[in-house]
Structure 1
Amino acid sequence: MEVHNVSLKISAVKKEQYPTEGYPEIALVGRSNVGKSSLVNTLINRRSYARTSSQPGKTQTLNFYEVENQLYFVDVPGYGYARVSKKERQKWGKMIEEYLTQREKIHGVVVLIDGRHTPMQLDLQMINFLHYYELPLLIVATKVDKVPRSKWNKIEKEIRQKIEFKKQDHLVLFSAVAKTGVNEIWKWIEKRADF
């Protein structure tokens, strides 16, 4: 999809604040600093629209990005960031769980994992959680530009061995730097959003 119009509609912390237009929503989840904001920026073809940070735990709200007046990307706070108080983590966890389990407008979830490493326990827990709620998943292995291309098949194989893939799950290797995987990710999003 060619993106010309995009706006940060709202940064929400509770369901009363969610947008009401009824557009399909694609949620983006992953560990802190895995590259969610970079993926959003790459998909909407903007350099730094979604704020990226080298400091994990920067996104603390559900950020609803309205794309072309027909779709929302929802940037979900990263999980697994240790430097946040337990109370704060519980608050985020409740907010994220409420959104992912009760929001009817979610048409799919993009789960970002770091392509340089095998999926961590927290990644597997999130994927199992999303499988339990039968949400369609796209697993995106990020930062693959930092791995020699000759090892990409190995990355894919390791991810598939570690994650219990369901029939409807998909996997894409992605690089924000080289724009690897962008077309495949958009194809999946467009199919999920019924464009």
Structure 2
Amino acid sequence: MLNLHLVEFVRSAVKTADFPNDNLPQIAFAGKSNVGKSSTINRLLNRKNFARVGNAPGKTIHINFFEIDKKAYFVDLPGYGYAKVSKKERDRWGKLMDEYFASDDTLTMGFQIVDIRHKPTADDVTMTNWFLQTGVPFAIIANKLDKIKKSQLEGSLQTIRTTLHLPENVPVIPFSAEKGNGKDEVLALILEHIHEEK
């Protein structure tokens, strides 16, 4: 089991040397700047403002590491796809992400958060490919479930799966950071893969 109440912010990494190297499992969360990534992490941890929720998208410009129960890390990757950020800043993010994904044994499992209401963007497709290339277990969190009608659910999930060219074994989990739907499914996947890591 994982005690989600024992959470500690460890560091913001701006370069490879900042990444923890203690061999604890790392669960990474990626998503566009306005997709509710911080809110999703907060919901999983039962916290209001643990991962910062900003009014302006694009607040997470480093890789943030949160230690959970001294057994694993939640890794908050920089938000992507926000137009108002300079090209230099975008390039810096890209380099940092490249270094994180290229690091040996850093990643145990990945979650990519998309907006269930919209077709995934080209940036989303790029992010999915990054995860798939690592070969680590990976799932899509389709956030903002509370904003669509039940009748739209099946079609929305199919659009996400088709647009991102997801292999059959990649789950797409309908989720609401607002209401908590999907939380148990995400936590079950995390526990399964942390357990396998040992």
Q: Give TM-score scaled by structure 2 length.
A: 0.93
Q: Which amino acid aligns with 1:12?
A: A
CA distance in 2, matches of 1:20, 1:165: 30
CA distance in 2, matches of 1:67, 1:186: 12
**RMSD over equivalenced CA pairs, Å:** 1.4
| Residue in 2 that maps onto 1:98 | 99
| Residue in 2 that maps onto 1:116 | 117
What is the CA deviation profile of residues 102-154 of structure 1, one whole-angstrom value per residue up to 9, with x for unaligned ones? 24131111001111101111111111222223232110111111111221112
CA distance in 2, matches of 1:188, 1:58: 27
| Residue in 1 that maps onto 2:39 | 38
| Residue in 1 that maps onto 2:180 | 179
What is the CA deviation profile of residues 22-76 of structure 1, one whole-angstrom value per residue up to 9, with x for unaligned ones? 2100111111111111111011111111110121110011100101110100000
Distance 1:129 1:70, change over 3 A: same
What is the CA deviation profile of residues 79-121 of structure 1, one whole-angstrom value per residue up to 9, with x for unaligned ones? 1111111111101110011101224131111001111101111
| Residue in 2 that maps onto 1:158 | 159
SS at match of 2:151: helix
SS at match of 1:39: helix
CA distance in 1, matches of 2:168, 2:157: 16
Count of matched residue pairs = 195
CA distance in 2, matches of 1:3, 1:24: 15
CA distance in 2, matches of 1:78, 1:101: 18
Deviation at 1:2, TM superposition (A): 4.6
Q: Which runs of 4+ in 1 moved over 2 A?
A: none
Deviation at 1:171, TM superposition (A): 0.9
SS at match of 1:87: helix
Q: Which amino acid aligns with 2:89?
A: E
Q: Decide whether the 8 Å contact of 1:33 with 1:54 is kept in 2.
A: no
The 10-residue stretch of structure 1 (124-133 or 104-113) with the greater mean CA deviation from structure 2? 124-133
| Residue in 2 that maps onto 1:139 | 140
- Aligned pairs (5 A) from 1:47-126: 47-126=48-127
CA distance in 2, matches of 1:8, 1:36: 16
Q: Which runs of 5+ in 2 are unaligned?
A: none
CA distance in 2, matches of 1:73, 1:183: 16
CA distance in 1, matches of 2:62, 2:144: 24
* Seq. identity, %: 38
CA distance in 2, matches of 1:51, 1:74: 13
Q: Which amino acid aligns with 2:44?
A: L
| Residue in 2 that maps onto 1:25 | 26
